[in-house]
A and B are shown apart, each in its own frame.
Chain A
């Protein structure tokens, strides 16, 4: 396994079909039957917020028709049912979901297919599909918490698919498309029932994550009450529905300085530019209160995108610390206006300052 600080949770299970999801081979057998307890496995993982997809060599329409008959077609996002190499299918799924390879589990009954995927994508966990019942108990498929957002995750991705389709069909500049979405970003101080989701975000988010530091519910709750931190959560909504709580900031407040100990955003909202909008909001607030704004950054090997987002938002390196973190400071002179395609609702009270 890789030498990461923590073994990544599985965010998506990619299933083969023949002799994996069902017994039998669609092309050869008149009937195929769903594997015992398959529906239950799919449903339980779905409830935990783990996504499903498909990498199968079959005819797309035939296979989808069969999945419809079984009543399980709706579980699968971006199914890759085609005659190409499975490594290519896995890559397409990874791209479409925009999650890291080491959060993917690939299940197939054929050693050849597993080896082909494993050889191409280091980090994808490839497992003999006869073990499909065992995976329910595996720690990597047991997120520490199941939140409201977990159970809705698949539906939120399905809204994303609709959005993306609309975007592809949209003729004209990206900014006009974003304007059509009617995005609303609500920024609020974390309430008690946000803390589980906040903890979950610190464990799940890798790319747009400034430090990779994880926080427990208890530590977040303690900071929330200690008078010199603010835990801010962001929820994004547009005309297709809510994306859920997709952003978290741990702000330490002292001596006329606000320091972002942590800032993270779910990769699902990357293309909406929400991170930059949040930073513009914070820079405006800091400037209005005459306060310096700084941020911690730690290179985790996967979060360069966050460092670049900080750069574009006007943060530059101030000092390097021995523990591997870098302190960035914002030049509050050039604070941008919030783009007009996104409305901000702030429920943050700065009155304790």
Chain B
């Protein structure tokens, strides 16, 4: 799961720079790596790939702002 989530973030980086490295705890939105259009894509991907349903009540940035946060969120839904 970690690899898949990192991969979708990496393929959508706004800042395309070979020097850009992000850790599994980096706040991907605050650092400007990705934007809200990416968030739309990410949520659709998570729902489909991990067969979960993300309701409006789940839409809190705390659930999605880093690789580790996303993983715990998905696990809590499975």
A and B assemble together: yes
Please report A residues at the B interface, Cβ cutoff 8 Å: 172-175, 270-271, 273, 275-276, 297, 299, 304-305, 307-314, 316-317, 326, 334, 336, 339
Q: Is the CB of A308 within 8 A of B39?
A: yes
Q: Is the CB of A336 within 8 A of B14?
A: no
Q: Is the interface of A mostly helix, strand, loop or mixed?
A: helix
Please report B residues at the A interface, Cβ cutoff 8 Å: 13-17, 29-30, 32, 35-37, 39-40, 43, 56-57, 59-62, 64
Q: Residues of A contacting B36 with CB < 8 Å?
A: 273, 275-276, 305, 308-309, 311-313
Bound complex: CA of A313 vs CA of B16, how far in Å?
Answer: 22
Q: Is the CB of A312 within 8 A of B14?
A: no
- Given that A312-B39, A334-B30 are known contacts, is A307 also in contact with B56, CB under 8 Å in the complex? yes
Q: Residues of B contacting A334 with CB < 8 Å?
A: 30
Q: Is the CB of A172 within 8 A of B16?
A: yes
Q: Is the CB of B61 within 8 A of A271?
A: no
- Give the residue name and chain of the A residue nearest to B30 (CB): A334
A-B contact pairs, 8 of them (CB 8 A): A172-B16, A175-B16, A270-B37, A276-B35, A308-B40, A312-B39, A312-B61, A317-B60
Bound complex: CA of A311 vs CA of B58, how far in Å?
Answer: 10
Bound complex: CA of A305 vs CA of B15, how far in Å?
Answer: 22
Bound complex: CA of A310 vs CA of B29, how far in Å?
Answer: 13
Bound complex: CA of A172 vs CA of B15, how far in Å?
Answer: 9
Bound complex: CA of A8 vs CA of B56, how far in Å?
Answer: 25
Instruction: Name the distance in Å between B59's Cβ and chain A's nearest Cβ.
Output: 4
Bound complex: CA of A272 vs CA of B15, how far in Å?
Answer: 15
Q: Is the CB of B16 within 8 A of A308?
A: no
Bound complex: CA of A112 vs CA of B61, how far in Å?
Answer: 48
Q: Is the CB of A173 within 8 A of B17?
A: yes
Q: Is the CB of B61 within 8 A of A311?
A: yes
Q: Residues of B contacting A270 with CB < 8 Å?
A: 37
Q: Is the CB of A339 within 8 A of B37?
A: no
Instruction: Name the distance in Å between A219's Cβ and chain B's nearest Cβ.
Output: 27
Instruction: Name the distance in Å between B16's Cβ and chain A's nearest Cβ.
Output: 3
Question: Which of A275, A299, A314, A339 has a CB less than 8 Å from the CB of B61?
Answer: A314
Q: Is the CB of B59 within 8 A of A271?
A: no
Return the 7 tightest CB-CB contacts between A and B, nearest first: A173-B16, A312-B36, A309-B36, A311-B59, A316-B60, A308-B39, A175-B14
